[in-house]
């Protein structure tokens, strides 16, 4: 029975991370930590790394802490919350850095309608070069208007 609960907690954590990402992106990255996120909105940022990459470390800290406390003194639910955060972080990297921004040229010729809509929504997010007037702050949930653009 524990395994079913642990799998459910991992999946639920992954799903909740989309809301946390939206809130964090809108109110933290486009708020008081804009100085870390601003270079991500610059066209053709000339470096391999951006200050924005610090958020990978910032978001990894809770996951690492949950792994630690999730095995001490024995395996418990905290480990699986940390696992859900880790899985979301991997998905974020693959979707945001690989698929959308093409920091690695792994998925250049995507034809999937959902992934095309996701890229379009993020492109709209990046049309704003400052921290105000942003839109499309999430990663996996794409507003319907972007799906409708690609119906054939």
The full DSSP string for 83-96 is: HHHHHHHHHHIIII
Answer whether residue 69 shows pLDDT above 90.
Answer: yes
What would the mean pLDDT of 103-127 be, rounded to a whole number? 77
What would the mean pLDDT of 118-126 be, rounded to a whole number? 78
What would the mean pLDDT of 26-54 be, rounded to a whole number? 82
Q: How confident is the model at residue 7 (pLDDT cuts 50, 70, 90)?
A: very high
Q: What is the pLDDT of residue 83?
A: 97
Q: What whole-number distance in Å separates Cα of residue 30 and Cα of residue 130? A: 8
Answer whether residue 147 shows pLDDT above 90.
Answer: no
């Amino acid at each position: 029975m524990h395994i079913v609960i642990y799998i459910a907690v991992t999946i639920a954590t992954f799903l909740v991370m989309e809301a946390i990402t939206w809130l964090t992106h809108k109110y933290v990255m486009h708020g008081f930590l804009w100085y870390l996120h601003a270079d991500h909105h610059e066209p053709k940022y000339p470096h391999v790394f951006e200050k924005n990459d610090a958020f990978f470390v910032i978001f990894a800290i809770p996951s690492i802490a949950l792994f630690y406390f999730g095995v001490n003194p024995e395996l418990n639910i905290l480990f699986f919350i940390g696992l859900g955060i880790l899985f979301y972080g991997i998905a974020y990297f693959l979707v945001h850095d690989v698929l959308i921004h093409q920091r690695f040229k792994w998925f250049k010729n995507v034809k999937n309608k959902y992934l095309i809509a996701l890229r379009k929504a993020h492109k709209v997010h990046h049309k704003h070069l400052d921290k105000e007037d942003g839109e499309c702050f999430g990663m996996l949930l794409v507003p319907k208007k972007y799906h409708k653009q690609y119906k054939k």
